[in-house]
Amino acid sequence: MRKLRVYIDTSVVGGCLEDIFAEASRKLLEMAEQGEIVLLVSDLLADELLEAPPAVAEVLQMLPGDCVEQIIRSDEAYRLQECYLNAGVVGQSSKDDALHVALATVAAADIIVSWNFKHIVHLDKIRKFNAVNALEGYSMIEIRSPQEIVTW
């Protein structure tokens, strides 16, 4: 059976070290370590972790390589990001959030997992991301919090 391919953003990694988010974030990473899911990790996430405290960056370094699939920014993802911005899904100040969704969409992730309730895991935003995806010929994408995934 094919494993669920789960795109994670920086909030999930950082969440491992924040009391309110730690349990669900760590459980999600454990699911990957146990082979239940595959984590999609983008080079955008890697770049964002360069600016994070060392303890946050170390969270991903502890994961075995076979539970992680690397996703690289592409012209296609940048084009889709621009479509989200032009449609007003998020503003220019949240362009990296739009790029996370674009990267996951272009990589055909099964789901995006994030703690970003303002710009990503937000019903209105999810609908708008998916409306743009439909207009641009992409599949709809599920967007959930780690808590929703680990309790399935």
| Tokens encoding 110 | 């099964």
The CA distance from 25 to 62, in Å, is: 14
| 152 confidence band (pLDDT: 50, 70, 90) | low
Pairing of strands 37-42, 4-8: parallel
Is it the case that residue 67 has pLDDT exceeding 90? Answer: yes
Q: Which domains does the chain have, with CATH numbers?
A: 4-150 (3.40.50.1010)
The whole model's pTM is what? 0.95
Q: Residue 65: pLDDT above 90?
A: no
The two three-digit tokens of residue 5, written as one number = 């391919």
How far apart are the C-alpha atoms of 6 and 95, rounded to whole Å? 21
**Distance separating alpha carbons of residues 94 and 151, to the nearest angstrom:** 29
CA 64 to mean position of chain CA atoms: 19
Find the mean pLDDT for residues 25-50: 96
Long-range CB contacts (within 8 A, 24+) of 90-98: 90/119, 90/125, 94/119, 96/44, 96/48, 97/9
Q: How far is CA 139 from the centre of its chain?
A: 16
